[in-house]
Structure 1
Amino acid sequence: MTREPPHSTFEASMSDWTDRPGTSPPEWTPRREPLAPPPSTRTAPLPGMPSPAAPGRYDSGPHPRGGRGSRNRRRPSRRRRYLRTAAVLSSVLLLGGAGTYVWADTRLDQQVDLGALGGRVPPGKGTTYLVVGSDSREGLSEQDRKDLNTGSAEGRRTDSVILLHTGANGTTMLSLPRDSWVTLPPYVDPGTGRGYRAAPNKLNAAFSLGGPGLLVRAVERNTGLRIDHYAEIGFAGFVGVVDAVGGVDLCLGRPVRDEDSGANLPAGCQTLDGAEALAFVRQRKQEDQGDLGRTRNQQKFLAALARKAADPATLADPSKSFPTLSAGLDTLIVDDGTELPDLMALFEALRKATGGGGRQLNVPVADPDLRTSKGSAVKWDDRRARALFRALREDRPPG
């Protein structure tokens, strides 16, 4: 096979719609089990955890000068007591936070090697994250799969694909329909080792055929945007996060019912638990524009989830904040260059974009029901999409 020339410009990546040979990407490394956290070295308990110290007073013993307790001692001033209490609390929070940081950092499953991918587009300005919601059933029991209407299919496919761009001109969250009709780069089937030439297909096919690596290359090839970080969460993690924060409040203008996803929600304002939320963001058959309607529902739900997770009542309650963090990490997959600070920056950008401090967009579409050899697909509006992608690549406000 001959080597495909790298796409040095956005126009080349968008206009290449024909088959041609190219280099084969490295094989997709199967998911490995997250590393177990090392033995704790904390000297103070995490917030919300019981103290290892024995209960009781510490000043009840004999006074060094023979007095009883503090009777012969000068009581500290109120100001000194306040300062002392503040210092103790600060130390406990600092040590607990450090312990939590180490624990969370060891839980990151950094299985995607972006540096090993070939034929990538040049870096742009700002930082671009590829955030993927996958239908991975890992972590779900057979009963869970039945209860959540996830089916029994093995492997992973995308249920949502979101580009999150941050830079000097704010934050933009851009949803890419999973049925987008794009050109997949050349790839090697990780199961058979057989190589395939570039060809048109649905964006979701990139993930199912070649995993995160092929999806990243497909997004870069068709948008001209360099992916700096990758983050993916599966069904189990999604449900766990929603349940950990106590459910998410959402107002629906009409009833939502879908046999495939299991959604059966009345109209009006309500609190969705994890299973109901998953059914809501997965359903699309009753939406007027199918996959496009689903992306709008996903953005609406993410905004509500971000508000709930960032609520002071949630953050200050260890019984909610720690299970939320743990549930999110259970099925989270990131690239090997993503550390905990990068993940925190991603969450903050997501919160801004969904909380009114940024932009929530869908890729411009020319035909939401394009007939193809792979079934109905979503055709982008090439001219408007090019302008949008170029603005993000150059870190300019879209539009």
Structure 2
Amino acid sequence: MADGPRGNGGPEKGTPEYNWLYGKGGAPAPGNDDATRAVPRQPRPDETRMMPAVPRDTPRGQQPPRPATRPTPPPAAPPPGSTGRTGRGFRRPRFRLRWIFLLVLLYLVYLVFVPIYAWHNVNKVPWEPSGNRPDDQPGTTYLLVGSDSRAGLSPAERKRLGTGNAQGQRTDTILILHTGSGPNLLMSIPRDSLVDIPGHGTTKINAAFAYGGAKLLVRTVESNTGIRIDDYVEIGLGGLAGVVDAVGGITICPTTDMQDKLAKLDIKKGCQEADGATALGYARSRHTSNIGDIDRVKHQREVVAAVGKKVVSPWTFLNPFRYWNLLTAVPDFFAFGEGTSVLRAGQWASAMTHVNGDNGLSCVVPIADLAVHWDPTRSKQMFGYIIKDQTADIPKSLCTPTGLPKGATG
């Protein structure tokens, strides 16, 4: 028997015409606005909701810990070489500072390398005498010797500087530089000073250098003064001119017009700039004053102090070319005593800048006359202050520009 409509003739459940929403009637007729439409399901107030599980060991009345949240990762760094600002062509300031730091570091290496390089080429002179010497004394005492050796000078340079062609070795300049707890002291010993030279009797002190070089000269100075020499520095005739030119010239202040054909010197009174040749002639001239060698040693101290001031000026260290020219000129003209370190040489150069005015004392060993005899009383007093490192206590009556008492002319 064929399946037929059931009840009111509508489709039976399971047949294609049966619709679960509308029941036996099937889909609503088209255009029937009153037909039932699907409505979204809304939750009921009394509907059971899922509550977060509370751990069994959580005390009553206490909130359970919140689940940990995942930290937000930091923003990714820009790739190397990218610009600091979007759409602009400027590099990061940090990048520029890195280059500046590198350049400064390289220049500091240069400032250290040049003196070390120059120092390896400097001549070292044996100078410490044998036998009995004064005991160690406070402070540091240097002996600076200006040798008239023409070694290293070409014939043209000898003619330009007016040094002549003398053979052998003599010294025109003998200076004692003492540094310590008080002001620095630069004291000239006139080359014609009559002293006892060990093994050679009483004669001019510069003969000690001709007889036995640095060792005999140091021994002579120590035995006649009681001052212990700690370091030795020697400079040749051309050395002074070379260093002056290397620092760009110095200022000299002659108190009178000076004309000296032997020293190749022709300058006017008053402060003026001097090149190497002029500075050397100014330091060597002894025929433009009635006190001869005594006036010359004053000019020598003036030139040495002026050179020292230029050497340690900031411009010397900021100008790489001047720095190179100055330090590479040292081996050609300077010699240092054996055992002198580059640090001690630097200390000597720095000390030479503090020997004039309020920064130091500049004078001649106390003398009794222009013959030149040392004053037996005043000279011993001066030596005593140096031995005890009491330069701050030296009276002006002992430290004079000529070595003679104040007001004396010889």
Q: TM-score range with shorter-chain normalisation?
A: 0.7 to 0.9
Structure 1 residues without counterparts, runs of 5 or longer:
1-66, 187-197, 370-377
1:21-100 correspondence to structure 2 within 5 Å: 70=82, 77-78=92-93, 80-81=94-95, 83-100=97-114
State the 1:123 CA deviation: 2.0
For 2:378, the aligned partner's letter is R
Tell me the equivalent position of 2:150: 137
| 2:350 matched residue in structure 1 | 348
1:344 alignment partner AA: G
Aligned-partner Cα distance in 2 for 1:176–1:388: 13
Residue 164 of structure 1 aligns to a residue whose secondary structure is strand
Correspondence list, 1:1-399, <5 A: 70=82, 77-78=92-93, 80-81=94-95, 83-114=97-128, 117-186=130-199, 198-354=200-356, 356-369=358-371, 378-397=372-391, 398-399=394-395
Residue range with higher mean Cα deviation, 165-174 or 355-364: 355-364
- The question of whether the paired residues in 2 share the 8 Å contact of 1:306 and 1:355 is answered with no
Deviations 1:121-180 (A, max 9, x none): 222111100011111111101121122111111122111110000111231111111111
The alpha carbon displacement at 1:305 in A equals 2.3
Deviation at 1:303, TM superposition (A): 2.6
TM-superposed deviation, 1:309: 2.7
Contact 2:191 2:205 in 1 (8 A): yes
Q: Is the 8 A contact 1:179 1:203 kept in 2?
A: yes
**Pairwise CA distance, 1:319:** 1.9
Structure 2, unpaired ranges of 5+: 1-78, 396-410
Q: What amino acid is the match of 2:99?
A: T
Amino acid at match of 1:230: Y
Give the Cα–Cα distance (whole angstroms) in 2 for the partners of residues 322 and 291 of structure 1.
35
State the SS of the aligned residue for 1:249.
strand
Structure scoring higher RCO (CA < 8 A, sep ≥ 6) equals: 1
SS state of the match for residue 353, structure 1?
coil
The 1:68/1:160 distance shift into structure 2, 3 A limit, reads closer
Q: Which amino acid aligns with 2:298?
A: R
Instruction: Give the Cα–Cα distance (whole angstroms) in 2 for the partners of residues 362 and 354 of structure 1.
Output: 13
Cα offsets for 1:13-34 (capped at 9, x unmatched):
xxxxxxxxxxxxxxxxxxxxxx
1:141 and 1:248 map into 2 onto residues whose CA distance is 24
Separation in 2, partners of 1:306, 1:246: 12
Task: State the distance in 1 between where 2:111 and 2:271 align.
Answer: 36
SS at match of 2:209: helix
Contact 2:127 2:214 in 1 (8 A): no
Change in 2 beyond 3 A, CA 1:101/1:283: closer
Alpha-carbon distance between aligned partners in 2 of 1:98 and 1:304, rounded to the nearest angstrom: 24
Q: Contact (CA 8 Å) 1:238, 1:328: kept in 2 or not?
A: no
* Change in 2 beyond 3 A, CA 1:310/1:202: same
State whether residues 144 and 176 of structure 2, in contact with CA within 8 Å, keep that contact through their aligned partners in structure 1. yes
Distance 1:310 1:342 in 2: 15
The Cα RMSD (Å) is 2.4
Contact 1:306/1:354 (<8 A) preserved = no
Q: Write 1 or 2 for the structure with the bigger share of strand.
A: 1
Q: Given the two structures, how large is their TM-score scaled by the length of structure 2?
A: 0.72
Do the aligned partners of 1:231 and 1:335 also contact (CA within 8 Å) in 2? yes
Further displaced range: 117-126 or 342-351 = 117-126
Bigger Rg, structure 1 or 2? 2
Tell me, yes or no, if the aligned pair for 1:172 and 1:353 is still in contact at 8 Å. Answer: yes
Q: 1: CA distance between counterparts of 2:273 and 2:387?
A: 38
Kindly provide the amino acid, as one letter, of the partner of residue 187 in structure 2: L
Q: Which 4+ runs in 1 deviate beyond 6 A? A: 72-76
The percent identity for this pair of structures is: 38
Question: Could you tell me how far apart the structure 1 residues matched to 2:308 and 2:113 are?
Answer: 25
SS in structure 2 of the partner of residue 388 of structure 1: helix
Q: TM-score, normalised by structure 1?
A: 0.74
Asked if the contact 1:233/1:328 (under 8 Å) is kept, the reply is no
